[in-house]
Amino acid sequence: MKAMVQNKRFLSEKLCTLTLTGDEGITSASPGQFVMVKVNEAFDPFLRRPLGIMEVDGNTFTLLFEIVGRGTKMLAQKNVGEELDVLGPLGKGFSLFPSFGILVAGGRGIVPLYFLASTLARTGIPFVFLLGIRSREELPLLDFLEKFSPVFWSCEEEVPGGFCGDVVALLQQYLSSVSLPVGTRVYACGPEGMVRALCRVEMLRGIPVEVSLESLMGCGFGVCLSCGVEKKDGKGYYHVCKDGPVFLLSEVGL
């Protein structure tokens, strides 16, 4: 679809949001799904870039991305009124009916979990949101969580009001202070190190953990085979784009 930039906002030097108006197709997006964005009309860079969907309102949707390389830098240079070629919504998202949700985001991993939190809040399902940031520069991400409660956050730098450390340590502190209802699910998205650390949290034994994975992607819909992640049993690979990006942590070999 063609999607027109309605709004652009820099949250920091490295974090940018774009709100775009697309077509009817985007209205069916569910939390955890993503889009493949062509960042340049010329084929340079050739490949589209995968980005999670943060918010959908009718045929308008919001992306939030970190500027890490050439593609995201070009995307951040788009201006209001410019059109982008966008494929999606793609992939399989999160399950939506836990009795209680524990949402664990690391940095830009807030994107699909913000969409999930908005959906759970609308349907009256209780949840807690834990966000981990690396430095003060990412503090503006906290503003998105003002409308949710309870919210706990951590920063690897010492910042007043936040837990000092990483979000997995914050999760462990949280888990040791509560008794969870049957049907609780954990939902996570963040850097690879965070996801690996989740695999080692003893207190999560017996609780289903759904994780949204990132991988390098060529096509976004199961054709190019560039996005493989090994199955837990070692018997082959999943395609992150088509079988995911959301998986049960117990299904993937990280």
Ligand X SMILES: Cc1cc2nc3c(=O)[nH]c(=O)nc-3n(C[C@H](O)[C@H](O)[C@H](O)COP(=O)(O)OP(=O)(O)OC[C@H]3O[C@@H](n4cnc5c(N)ncnc54)[C@H](O)[C@@H]3O)c2cc1C
Q: Which is nearer to ligand FES, 6 or 226 (CB)?
A: 226
Q: Which is nearer to ligand FES, 38 or 239 (CB)?
A: 239
Interaction of residue 216 with ligand X, rule CB under 6 A: yes
User: Which residue from 196, 154, 150, 147 is spatially nearest to 173, judged by alpha carbons?
Assistant: 154
**Binders of ligand X in range 138-167 (CB under 6 A):** none
**Angle between the 167-175 and 192-199 helix axes, to the nearest 10 degrees?**
30
Q: Which is nearer to ligand X, 135 or 149 (CB)?
A: 135
Could you give the 3-state DSSP secondary structure of residue 94?
coil
Q: Tell me 204's DSSP state.
A: G
Distance in Å, CB of 151 to ligand FES, minimum: 33
Query: Could you tell me what percentage of the chain is helix, strand and coil, using 3-state DSSP and rounding each to the nearest 5?
Result: 25, 35, 40
Binding characters for ligand FES, 193-222, by CB under 6 A (x = yes): ------------------------xxxx-x
Rounded Cα distance, 115 and 30, in Å: 8
Binding characters for ligand X, 100-119, by CB under 6 A (x = yes): --------x--x--------
The per-residue b/e assignment along 54-91, b for 16 or more CB within 10 angstroms, e otherwise, is bbbeeebbbbbbbbeeebbeebbebeeeeebebbbbbb
Interaction of residue 68 with ligand X, rule CB under 6 A: yes
Distance in Å, CB of 206 to ligand X, minimum: 28
Q: Which residues bind ligand FES (CB under 6 A)?
A: 217-220, 222-227, 239, 241
Q: Which residues bind ligand X (CB under 6 A)?
A: 34, 49-52, 64-66, 68-72, 108, 111, 214-217, 245
